[in-house]
Amino acid sequence: MTIDAAHGAPPGTGAQPPPELVQLLTPEGERIEHPEYDVDLTADEIKSLYRDLVIVRRLDTEALALTRQGELGVWASLLGQEAAQIGSGRALGPGDMAFPSYREHGVAWCRDVDPVKVLGLFRGVNHAGWDPREHNFHLYTIVIGSQTLHATGYAMGIQRDGTEDAAIVYFGDGATSEGDVNEAFVWSAAQNAPIVFFCQNNQWAISEPLERQSRIPLYRRAEGFGFPGIRVDGNDVFAVLAVTKRALDNARSGQGPTLIEAFTYRMGAHTTTDDPTRYRLQAELEAWKLKDPIERVKAYLVKSQMADKEFFAAIDEEAKSIGSDLRKRCLELPDPEATAIWENVYATEHAPLAGERDRFTSYLGSFEEVTR
């Protein structure tokens, strides 16, 4: 079922059912129409989206290089998923709260989180580094799917506060097999919570292909829980923006949750500890490269004569400069105090935790006594 109508044509209308996959920009850069979704963007807005896509890919490349050089402990690349993240991130309103997993670097960019704070987490020098309340962007969550419950609880809270905001929660196709995600579906449906479930279906749950995870398209699972689901071309930033805006508007206006399945592809490894050549074919990767989310926007800008080669060169140069600055600032991040691990765990002092901290401090102090 789509957001506003049951799946298929309305009875008696004789109309054709809408396409299963919402797409507004083809991989070749051709603008197409969809019977239910559209987005009206100026040339400057499209160029701004292109800039976002290029910059977050550059930041991702820089982080990968830092990891290979031993400067980050691990990195979860967003390569190939830029449109899903920028399109949904730019659909958010100032008061909406986003709950990421650990790969939403593009959404963090849209919420004005300094990328060096994200890298600090993977460098092991901070606990995330940003204030979720300042950016309305929650901390990264490593435990698969647990953030869906956090987001559902938050959505129920703002519903009771009477705000006109919504929550959005990001997770992957593998997380849909977790109990936490299904419990979040049950609760959000029962409470009619103002939440958007944004599943980035990148086809692989580490090494487990999608066909071993579900017998039906993931977006259709929502129907069993009593709320709408929709599949969007996750490599089409226009379509993702349009679908996410509609879902958020519906959540804010009291129509409850929506499940968005952004159909995309993880072009890199699951993380830098993974080797995807051991479980997937190169031909599959090559096929998805032809659907690159950045190249299709570039092709559209060129065909429509909205941008010239000077524009693209300037964006490339800006992305390079931002990437170089990120590298420099990452290497300059100071190591934290050893006791920093106990900070910001609870809102107020917690006796057992304080005891652990004090014993650890005493233990460290014993080394100083020996060396005197």
pLDDT digits (tens, 9 = 90+) for 219-229: 999 999 999 99
Residue of 236, 301, 293, 294 whose CA lies nearest to 46 = 301
- For residue 49, give every residue at least 6 positions away whose Cβ sits within 8 Å of its Cβ, in sequence order, or none: 41, 86, 87, 90, 237, 241, 297
More confident residue, 359 or 12: 359
347 — pLDDT class (breaks 50, 70, 90): confident
Measure the CA–CA gap between 4 and 321, rounded to whole angstroms.
Answer: 43
For the chain, what is the mean pLDDT?
Answer: 93
Residue 6 — pLDDT band, cuts 50, 70, 90? very low
Q: What is the mean pLDDT of residues 154-158?
A: 98
Residue 143 has pLDDT above 50, yes or no: yes
CA 271 – CA 97 distance, rounded (Å): 26
Six token digits for residue 275: 């080797």
pLDDT value of position 360: 93
**For the residues 136-152, what does the mean pLDDT come to?**
96
- Tell me: pLDDT of 8 over 60: no
Q: What is the pLDDT of residue 19?
A: 62
- 15 pLDDT band, cuts 50/70/90, is very low
Residues with catalytic function: 266, 270, 279
Q: What share of the chain has pLDDT > 90, as a percent?
A: 86
Higher pLDDT: 350 or 112? It is: 112
Could you please state the CATH topology (level 3) that the domain comprising 25-32+43-50+75-290 is classified under: Rossmann fold (3.40.50)
- Residue 4 confidence (pLDDT): 47
Mean pLDDT, rounded, for 62-72: 97
| Poorest-pLDDT segment among 12-26, 175-189, 312-326 | 12-26
CA distances from 13 to 1, 16, 264 (A): 17, 9, 33
Nearest residue to 25 via CA among 199, 233, 227, 205: 233
State the pLDDT confidence band at 127, using cuts at 50, 70 and 90: confident
Tokens for 12, please give them.
Answer: 């008696």
Question: Does pLDDT of 17 surpass 80?
Answer: no
* C-beta separation of 78 from 56 below 8 A: yes
Q: Where are the alpha helices (H) located in the chain, listed in sequence order?
A: 43-68, 82-89, 105-110, 115-123, 132-135, 146-161, 179-191, 221-225, 237-252, 282-289, 293-303, 309-331, 351-371
Per-residue pLDDT averaged across 37-51, rounded? 97
Q: What is the pLDDT of residue 349?
A: 86
Say yes or no to pLDDT of 213 above 80.
Answer: yes
Q: What is the pLDDT of residue 341?
A: 86
Rounded average pLDDT over 17-33:
88
pLDDT(369) > 70: no
pLDDT at 275 over 70: yes
For residues 297 and 46, the answer to whether their CB atoms sit within 8 Å is yes
